[in-house]
A and B are shown apart, each in its own frame.
Chain A
Amino acid sequence: MTPVNTLIAKELRSYFVSPVVYVVGAVFLLIVGLLAYIYIVFTGAQAIQLMQVQGQAQINLNDLVFRNLFSSIRFVLLLVLPILTMRLFAEEKKLRTFEFLMTSPIGLNEIVAGKFVSVFVLFLGLLGLTGLIPLTLALFSDFDWYPIFTGYLGLVLLGALFLSVGVLASALTENQIVAAFVSFGLLLFLWLLAGIGTLLGDTAVGQVVSYLSFMEHYDHLVRGLIDTRDLVYFASALILMLFLTHRVVDSTRWK
């Protein structure tokens, strides 16, 4: 095993021996399941109403269930992912294993990448479990799979962005609570940039500010649009966050 793989395996192992992953995973899946249930029941009620009024109903599950669901998961991720990332560097510093890691024959790039990949793999696992929702619905109804795939692509990219912000926050402090709150703060700020962009209207500044928020990029994917600009946004945001993490971790050595 290369050092990076060793680190990833160890991080995953550490996640699964702590209760955090189980609690966070359970809450995440429960809330997503509950949201899906609410949207499905709502849609069902609407269908019955339409049947009574018009005698027939064309219900679009993609619009009524999945788009709402994808929009809501965004918020659940914002609450859940910082809890998963908060320990990555903060705990090492607190327990004095940071010095050990930094004096091991493994590059800083590899450390940052290893930390990120381990939590990303964990997130993919959790997200994979939510795949049961469309699979179950597919047994009873017809819908278009394409926007589901792009929606999941959106979730994967959005999750990667949230996680990278969380990794950065964790590198800034040795206190896990502080790390979690810093990532909440940063993510909410990125979220609100969309609102500020709308307030500024269709000016150049407004467009730039809106572009900086993940909202419209994610919305495009949820609506089934794969646009290179959105992919570039997520990729560059991810690289920027991991680069900043690298700089922050490196700078702690110089103090």
Chain B
Amino acid sequence: MIDVQQITKRYGQHTAIDRVTFSVAKGEVLAFLGPNGAGKTTTMRILTCFMPPTEGRATVAGFDCLDQPLEVKRRIGYLPETPPVYQELTVDEYLRFVGRLRGLAGAMLTTAMSREIERLGLGSVQHRLIGNLSRGYRQRVGLAQALIHDPPVLILDEPTVGLDPKQIIEIRELIKSLAGSHSVILSTHILPEATAVCQRVVIISSGRIVAEDTPDRLSTRLRHSEKIALTLTRAPADVEAQLRQVDGVLQVHANGPAGHFLLETQLGKDVRENIARLTVTSNWGLVELKLISMTLEDVFLKLTRHEEGLPQNTGPATAPAGDVNRKGMDVPS
């Protein structure tokens, strides 16, 4: 549905995005993840034909963004960072304007309007001036605007910014419900959001794609061992040596205050049962035993912090997993 090939955008000397390549299948939800200024918005602006790329090609639903911008624009619903609302219009007037601009008329327009008003909970404010609405409502009006012509492709730039937690959940549910029938790209720097709604995550940093995969696989791939936090109240002096005897345990570190340990174990081997049996039968006073899995947060921080060390353009598979250990040291508390 969306195909981006090697697009580069330079502003004078500054390279905003550098040979970015990815694609989105029909019905797929893709998260664009990256710190502020990584090039998320620039990429989206290129896809929506707002600006042309310096190099490379982007196609949406088979239409080239440079050659057939009108065809592309007809098939895209776009929510920019700031909801593009006209403050002097009421919600109704605004949605009617947007719908007509996108070619809806008559009964179809009325149906589309009431569908979006219903779907985004705008019923109570539909006759109010947008200028008088709160940030959350404006954001929802912005979303209604992007959805009104029921486009096959949705491009949402930080769709949940400015919403309260309940609204965030509602919007995520909405986006999930669009998956399957719509292709969605959403940008965010909130990781749980990516995990919650997306099938695939593209991590972008300093204008380059540093990783691309499902949220689960991304975190699996980047760790070569699992970690277990263990807290004992009566640990004997040779506890570390004894723990190392357990099958699957690679390393044992003292971790923080006395009695706290961090165990590194082989990937794919759950040693918790054995550890529990050992500590309980030895009467070491087991109070905590938990698996620490690497979250998307860790992956993200790791990738965006160390991206200088990554080879360019060779894709996600090459992301080194070398210093996961170092990071892991300060996890449990």
Q: Which residues of A contact B (CB under 8 A)?
A: 1, 3, 6-7, 9-10, 13-14, 17-18, 95-97, 99-107, 253-255
Please state if B88 and A18 are interface contacts (CB–CB under 8 Å).
yes
A104–B102 Cα gap in the complex (Å)?
7
Q: Quick check: is B144 within 8 A (CB to CB) of the other chain?
A: no
Q: Which residue of A lies closest to B79 (CB)?
A: A100
Q: For residue A171, give the distance in angstroms from its CB to the closest CB of chain B.
A: 16
A187–B32 Cα gap in the complex (Å)?
48
Please state if B11 and A104 are interface contacts (CB–CB under 8 Å).
no
Q: Which residue of A lies closest to B75 (CB)?
A: A105
23 A-B pairs with CB atoms under 8 Å apart are: A3-B100, A3-B101, A6-B97, A6-B101, A7-B101, A9-B97, A10-B86, A14-B86, A14-B88, A17-B88, A97-B84, A99-B45, A99-B84, A100-B80, A100-B145, A101-B84, A103-B49, A103-B50, A103-B73, A106-B101, A107-B70, A253-B51, A255-B11
Please state if A103 and B51 are interface contacts (CB–CB under 8 Å).
no
Please state if A96 and B86 are interface contacts (CB–CB under 8 Å).
no
Give 4 nearest A-B pairs by CB, closest first.
A100-B84, A96-B82, A6-B100, A105-B73
Name A's interface SS.
helix
Within 8 A of A (CB), among B265-311: none
Q: Tally of A-B residue pairs with Cβ under 8 A?
A: 67
Q: For residue A186, give the distance in angstroms from its CB to the closest CB of chain B.
A: 28
Given contacts A6-B101, A103-B76, A104-B101, contact A97 B93 (CB under 8 A): no
A sample of 7 more A-B contacts (CB under 8 A), given A13-B89, A105-B70, A106-B101, is A1-B105, A14-B86, A14-B89, A96-B80, A103-B76, A105-B74, A253-B51
Name B's interface SS.
loop
Q: Quick check: is B8 within 8 A (CB to CB) of the other chain?
A: no
Q: Which residues on the A side are within 8 Å of B86 (C-beta)?
A: 10, 14, 95, 97
Q: Which residues on the A side are within 8 Å of B100 (C-beta)?
A: 1, 3, 6
Q: For residue A175, give the distance in angstroms from its CB to the closest CB of chain B.
A: 18
Q: For residue A101, give the distance in angstroms from its CB to the closest CB of chain B.
A: 8
Q: For residue B72, give the distance in angstroms from its CB to the closest CB of chain A.
A: 9
Q: Quick check: is B85 within 8 A (CB to CB) of the other chain?
A: yes
Most chain A C-beta atoms within 10 Å of own C-beta, residue among B51, B52, B82, B86? B86
Please state if A99 and B50 are interface contacts (CB–CB under 8 Å).
yes
Q: Which residues on the B side are within 8 Å of A13 (C-beta)?
A: 88-89, 93
Q: Which residues on the A side are within 8 Å of B89 (C-beta)?
A: 10, 13-14, 17
Q: Which residues on the B side are within 8 Å of A103 (C-beta)?
A: 48-50, 73, 76, 78
Please state if A253 and B52 are interface contacts (CB–CB under 8 Å).
yes
Q: For residue B170, give the distance in angstroms from its CB to the closest CB of chain A.
A: 23
A18–B87 Cα gap in the complex (Å)?
11
A12–B81 Cα gap in the complex (Å)?
27
Please state if A97 and B49 are interface contacts (CB–CB under 8 Å).
no
Per-position 1/0 for B94-133, Cβ under 8 A of A: 0001101111010000000000000000000000000000
Q: Which residue of B lies closest to A101 (CB)?
A: B84
Please state if A105 and B87 are interface contacts (CB–CB under 8 Å).
no
Q: Which residues on the B side are within 8 Å of A101 (C-beta)?
A: 84
Most chain B C-beta atoms within 10 Å of own C-beta, residue among A13, A17, A100, A255? A100
Q: Which residues on the A side are within 8 Å of B11 (C-beta)?
A: 255
A17–B78 Cα gap in the complex (Å)?
27
Most chain B C-beta atoms within 10 Å of own C-beta, residue among A18, A104, A107, A255? A104
